[in-house]
Amino acid sequence: MSAEVKSYDSKMLKTIEVVKANFASVRAGRANAGVLDRIQVEYYGTPTPLNQVAAISTPDPRTLVIQPWDATLLKAIEKAIQTSDLGINPQNDGRVIRLAFPQLTEERRKDLTKQVKKYAEDGKVAIRNIRREAMDDFKAMKKNSEITEDDQKNLEKDLQELTDKRCKDIDELCAKKEQELMAV
């Protein structure tokens, strides 16, 4: 793989990491602290990630316990969770917040599967945008006589193979996450 194509591969790999993070934020019936990664809490007027203002633990497979380092944050954390798309009602006992994850219904599993497919499609669109950007760069290099027409064709061929491979990687991740969601 040429150096020109390698730089675009690193961008594609970053896109795949974003897709993985999105998949981790989709809950699959088990308590997973990853579902809280996107939740921001107002902390002294600044939106701050929840995991930076509280300790998150899983005492059992269906429960998350959030213990803020600053007790004054309890209400803000509770509000942030309620306004998020988690669909879980937090229970505040004055010291910690408990999140009980119910068993997923068939309908909710299907909704989550659709969400996962959308994340996968967004990732593939981002990868194809990287490919388009690279193709434009290769054309500009050819126009500026930095590379020959044969070099351009070879680079475009390598880039297309790489794009197909990265899209296939996303499809595999998506299939694995769907399987996890549909497992009862």
At 56-77, the pLDDT tens digits run 888 887 788 888 888 888 888 8
Of the spans 44-48, 75-79, 147-151, 166-170, which averages the highest pLDDT?
Answer: 166-170
CATH of the structural domain 3-24+105-182, one choice from 1.10.260.40, 1.10.132.20, 1.20.140.10, 3.40.50.970: 1.10.132.20
Give start-end residues of each CATH 1.10.132.20 domain in the chain. Answer: 3-24+105-182
Using DSSP's 3-state secondary structure scheme, residue 90 falls into coil
Nearest to 25 by CA among 52, 50, 55: 50
Dihedral (CA of 96, 63, 89, 179) sign:
positive
Predicted pLDDT at 27: 65
Render the burial of 5-42: b for 16+ CB within 10 Å, e for the rest: beebbebbeebbeebbebbbbbbbbebbeebbeebebe
pLDDT digits (tens, 9 = 90+) for 68-123: 888 888 888 888 888 877 777 888 888 888 888 777 778 878 888 898 999 999 99
**Predicted confidence band at 28 (pLDDT cuts at 50, 70, 90)?**
low
| Topology classification of domain 33-100 | Gyrase A; domain 2 (3.30.1360)
Give start-end residues of each CATH 3.30.1360.40 domain in the chain. Answer: 33-100
Please indicate whether residue 21 or residue 122 has the higher confidence score (pLDDT).
122
